[in-house]
């Protein structure tokens, strides 16, 4: 079911949960409304069934999970809202780099949640601050929603950076939730799971989906975008940490969330629409149409401003239209079509001013001539940076450049949604 798995949150559900006829009807409806859903309704309002594997009782062994990370393909920051959060528009992309989370749980007369970790920077029971951990918050809220009391042990083996802008803590929270559900044999309904995730953190919900995900609102409104074939990626991991809260304060202090930032939100939306909302009879490998005509979802058309090209000043040198190369880019990889629209990360202006060494690392990732990156940027508010490459050889050369400058760099690739879901439980092999 290419493209349809982005609407469902599935992992190895038995056939008895739905009849073949019912599944065919659901799939047909999902295909018809997929793009409309992506651009018009948050996932926690979509009334599609959410299937989970129901287990009786408790597993005999602890549940072990891979807690994957993300990068941001463009991040536009708007003005602070009345609730104190900033409006955001971004595209999340998951990577196979991961922490390991082990969950053990059993029903009990009262709830007790214990967190251990190999990293001193992780809030944990030994340090007396476990309640600050996103995994603790997620499990506590989930137990309340399930109306279950349990003794829960969560062990977090860190390999991803703390304060790295890769969503590691948020991914830990989702891994802890999925482990808890498997251990206890019960699960929250899909909309409730997403609601709880959004309460815990702005980028927590994306890890309930995986793959390529559009994030709006404060980042918690998530919409699955068509999956792409893996792209070679290099992640640079500087030793410096960046506080997201401080980065937002610096953006506000420099008045970067003025009307100009609102325009950036609109331009990023137009760039996304130019890639993912074209319409026509011919479609690419991900089911995305390859013409430049506006998409018409039933009787509703997308807002006209979303169907306009970004202005030429927002595009890389030599590009005059975001849709001009959509046909060739999509035929190769939808992510290429997106990054070639010239999307940027607004945090770079303030974070690079505070940490000039990060700007140098980005230059190393970008490279030049034949081994140049397709795209390089700060991930989130940093400090991690990444580059995407057209070949593994170009990525290896970028890794060499970054490491030669004294910064740790990891060669990896993007992680599509189907692989994210298949491998999140550690008994499933990667690759």
The tokens of 318 are what?
Answer: 């030599």
Side by side, the strands of the sheet bearing 385-389 are 375-378, 385-389, 232-237, 408-413
pTM over cut 0.85: no
Q: Which residues lie below 8 Å from residue 105, measured CB to CB, with a gap of 6+? A: 58, 150, 151, 152, 153, 179, 180, 183, 184
Say whether the peptide bond before residue 154 is cis (omega within 30 degrees of 0). Answer: no
Q: Which residues lie below 8 Å from residue 16, measured CB to CB, with a gap of 6+? A: none
pLDDT value of position 391: 93
Candidate list 203, 309, 364, 371, residue with the active-site label = 203
pLDDT value of position 258: 45
Q: What is the CA radius of gyration of the chain?
A: 21
pLDDT value of position 397: 96
Residue 203 bears catalytic tag: yes
Domains plus CATH for the chain? Answer: 63-222+417-423 (3.30.230.10), 232-413 (3.30.70.890)
Cα dihedral sign for 235, 238, 241, 242?
negative
Bridge partners, 287 (sequence order): none
Residue 305 bears catalytic tag: no
The tokens of 106 are what?
Answer: 């059993």
pLDDT value of position 275: 64
DSSP 6-27: TTS--SS--GGGS-HHHHHHHH
Candidate list 70, 137, 158, 264, residue with the active-site label = 70
Q: Which residues of the chain have pLDDT under 50?
A: 1-59, 258-259, 261, 278-331
Asked whether 80 and 86 are in contact (CB, 8 A), the reply is yes
Asked whether 232 and 390 are in contact (CB, 8 A), the reply is yes
User: Which of 150, 178, 157 has the alpha carbon at shortest distance from 55?
Assistant: 178
Burial of residue 319 (number of CB atoms within 10 Å: 0-12, 13-18, 19+): middle
The tokens of 150 are what?
Answer: 């349990």
pLDDT value of position 326: 41
Asked whether 199 and 215 are in contact (CB, 8 A), the reply is no
Instruction: Report the C-alpha gap between 361 and 328 in whole angstroms.
Output: 30
């Amino acid at each position: 079911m290419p493209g349809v798995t982005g609407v469902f949150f599935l992992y190895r559900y038995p056939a008895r949960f739905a009849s073949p006829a019912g599944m065919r009807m659901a799939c047909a409806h999902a295909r018809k409304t997929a793009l409309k859903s992506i651009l018009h309704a948050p996932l926690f309002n979509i009334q599609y069934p959410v299937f989970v594997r129901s287990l009786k009782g408790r597993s005999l062994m602890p549940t072990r999970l891979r807690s994957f990370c993300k990068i941001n393909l463009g991040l536009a920051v708007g003005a602070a809202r009345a609730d104190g959060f900033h409006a955001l528009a971004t595209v999340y992309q998951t990577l196979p780099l991961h922490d390991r989370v082990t969950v053990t749980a059993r029903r009990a007369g009262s709830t007790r949640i214990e967190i251990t970790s190999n990293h001193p920077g992780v809030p944990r029971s030994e340090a007396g601050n476990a309640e600050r951990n996103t995994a603790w918050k997620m499990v506590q809220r989930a137990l309340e929603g399930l109306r279950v009391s349990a003794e829960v042990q969560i062990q977090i083996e860190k390999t991803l950076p703390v304060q790295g802008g890769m969503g590691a803590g948020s991914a830990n929270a989702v891994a802890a939730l999925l482990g808890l559900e498997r251990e206890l044999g019960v699960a929250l309904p899909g909309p409730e799971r997403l609601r709880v995730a959004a309460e815990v953190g702005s980028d927590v919900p994306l890890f309930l989906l995986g793959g390529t995900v559009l994030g709006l609102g404060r980042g918690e409104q998530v919409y699955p975008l068509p999956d792409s074939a893996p792209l070679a990626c290099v992640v640079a991991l500087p030793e410096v940490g960046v506080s997201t809260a401080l980065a937002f304060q610096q953006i506000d202090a420099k008045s970067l969330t003025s009307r100009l930032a609102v325009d950036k939100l609109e331009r990023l939306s137009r760039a996304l629409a130019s890639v993912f909302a074209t319409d026509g009879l011919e479609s690419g490998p991900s089911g995305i149409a390859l013409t430049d005509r506006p998409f018409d979802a039933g009787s509703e058309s997308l807002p006209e401003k979303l169907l306009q090209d970004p202005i030429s000043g927002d595009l890389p040198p030599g590009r005059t239209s975001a849709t001009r190369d959509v046909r060739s880019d999509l035929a190769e990889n939808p992510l290429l079509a997106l990054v070639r629209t010239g999307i940027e990360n607004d945090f770079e202006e303030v974070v690079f001013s505070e940490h000039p060494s990060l700007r140098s690392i980005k230059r190393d990732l970008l490279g030049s001539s034949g081994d140049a990156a397709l795209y390089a940027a700060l991930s989130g508010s940093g400090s991690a940076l990444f580059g995407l490459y057209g070949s593994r050889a170009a990525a290896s050369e970028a890794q060499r450049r970054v490491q030669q400058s004294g910064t740790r760099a990891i060669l990896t690739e993007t992680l599509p949604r189907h692989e994210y879901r298949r491998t999140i439980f550690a008994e499933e092999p990667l690759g």
